[in-house]
Protein backbone atom coordinates (compact mmCIF):
# COMPACT_ATOMS: atom_id res chain seq x y z
CA UNK A 1 0.00 0.00 0.00
CA UNK A 2 2.84 2.38 0.82
CA UNK A 3 4.40 1.68 -2.58
CA UNK A 4 1.17 2.70 -4.36
CA UNK A 5 0.82 5.83 -2.21
CA UNK A 6 4.43 6.72 -2.98
CA UNK A 7 3.89 6.40 -6.72
CA UNK A 8 0.70 8.48 -6.63
CA UNK A 9 2.46 11.14 -4.56
CA UNK A 10 5.44 11.07 -6.94
CA UNK A 11 3.08 11.67 -9.89
CA UNK A 12 1.37 14.54 -8.06
CA UNK A 13 4.71 16.16 -7.27
CA UNK A 14 5.79 15.93 -10.92
CA UNK A 15 2.53 17.59 -12.01
CA UNK A 16 3.03 20.33 -9.40
CA UNK A 17 6.58 21.10 -10.56
CA UNK A 18 5.39 21.22 -14.18
CA UNK A 19 2.74 23.75 -13.10
CA UNK A 20 5.44 25.74 -11.28
CA UNK A 21 7.65 25.74 -14.39
CA UNK A 22 4.71 26.90 -16.51
CA UNK A 23 4.09 29.67 -13.98
CA UNK A 24 7.66 30.87 -14.31
CA UNK A 25 7.29 30.79 -18.11
CA UNK A 26 4.18 32.98 -17.68
CA UNK A 27 1.92 30.43 -19.36
CA UNK A 28 -0.32 30.19 -16.31
CA UNK A 29 -2.49 33.31 -15.78
CA UNK A 30 -1.21 35.80 -13.14
CA UNK A 31 -3.54 35.18 -10.19
CA UNK A 32 -2.85 31.44 -10.30
CA UNK A 33 0.81 31.78 -11.18
CA UNK A 34 1.47 33.91 -8.11
CA UNK A 35 -0.17 31.37 -5.81
CA UNK A 36 1.67 28.48 -7.42
CA UNK A 37 5.01 30.27 -7.06
CA UNK A 38 4.38 31.03 -3.36
CA UNK A 39 3.51 27.40 -2.73
CA UNK A 40 6.57 26.26 -4.71
CA UNK A 41 8.81 28.50 -2.58
CA UNK A 42 7.36 27.11 0.65
CA UNK A 43 7.69 23.56 -0.68
CA UNK A 44 11.37 24.14 -1.52
CA UNK A 45 12.02 25.41 2.01
CA UNK A 46 10.23 22.41 3.52
CA UNK A 47 12.14 20.02 1.24
CA UNK A 48 15.43 21.60 2.29
CA UNK A 49 14.64 20.86 5.94
CA UNK A 50 13.55 17.36 4.91
CA UNK A 51 16.95 16.88 3.28
CA UNK A 52 18.74 17.99 6.44
CA UNK A 53 16.57 15.63 8.54
CA UNK A 54 16.94 12.67 6.18
CA UNK A 55 20.68 13.18 5.84
CA UNK A 56 21.11 13.29 9.60
CA UNK A 57 18.82 10.31 10.15
CA UNK A 58 19.77 7.85 7.41
CA UNK A 59 22.46 9.50 5.32
CA UNK A 60 26.06 8.49 5.34
CA UNK A 61 28.99 10.88 5.88
CA UNK A 62 30.31 10.36 2.33
CA UNK A 63 27.11 11.50 0.64
CA UNK A 64 25.50 8.08 0.65
CA UNK A 65 22.06 7.36 -0.64
CA UNK A 66 20.23 10.63 -0.09
CA UNK A 67 20.27 12.85 -3.17
CA UNK A 68 19.92 16.60 -2.64
CA UNK A 69 18.25 17.22 -6.01
CA UNK A 70 15.80 14.33 -5.65
CA UNK A 71 14.92 15.41 -2.13
CA UNK A 72 14.39 19.02 -3.22
CA UNK A 73 12.08 17.89 -6.03
CA UNK A 74 10.29 14.90 -4.54
CA UNK A 75 10.70 15.27 -0.78
CA UNK A 76 9.74 12.26 1.29
CA UNK A 77 8.83 10.31 -1.85
CA UNK A 78 12.57 9.96 -2.43
CA UNK A 79 13.91 9.34 1.07
CA UNK A 80 11.02 7.54 2.82
CA UNK A 81 11.65 4.20 1.05
CA UNK A 82 15.30 4.48 2.08
CA UNK A 83 14.23 5.14 5.66
CA UNK A 84 11.88 2.15 5.71
CA UNK A 85 14.32 -0.19 3.96
CA UNK A 86 17.90 0.99 4.61
CA UNK A 87 19.38 -1.89 2.56
CA UNK A 88 17.70 -0.62 -0.64
CA UNK A 89 20.10 0.86 -3.22
CA UNK A 90 19.23 3.67 -5.58
Residue-wise DSSP of 22-40 = HHHTT-S-HHHHHHHHHHH
Pick the more confident residue, 36 or 6: 36
pLDDT of residue 19: 92
pLDDT of residue 42: 93
Answer whether residue 80 is part of any domain. yes
Has residue 24 got a pLDDT over 80? Answer: yes
Are the C-beta atoms of 57 and 64 separated by less than 8 Å?
A: no
pLDDT of residue 57: 74
In which domain, by residue range, is 59 found? 2-84
55/61 Cα distance (integer angstroms): 9
Answer whether residue 8 is part of any domain. yes
Has residue 77 got a pLDDT over 70? Answer: yes
Total tally of structural domains belonging to the chain? 1
Answer whether residue 90 is part of any domain. no
Q: How confident is the model at residue 40 (pLDDT cuts 50, 70, 90)?
A: very high
pLDDT of residue 75: 78
Nearest Cα to Cα of residue 74 among 15, 1, 23, 33 = 15
Burial of 17 (0-12, 13-18, 19+ CB in 10 A): middle
Ramachandran angles phi, psi of 36, nearest 5° = -60, -40
Has residue 90 got a pLDDT over 60? Answer: no
Answer whether residue 89 is part of any domain. no
Average pLDDT of the chain is 80
Answer whether residue 9 is part of any domain. yes
Mean pLDDT of the region 37-47: 91
Q: What contacts 64, CB < 8 A, 6 or more positions away?
A: 58
Amino acid sequence: MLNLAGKVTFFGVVVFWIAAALSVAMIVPPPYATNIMWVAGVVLIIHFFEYVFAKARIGQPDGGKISFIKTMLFGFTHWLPLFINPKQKQ
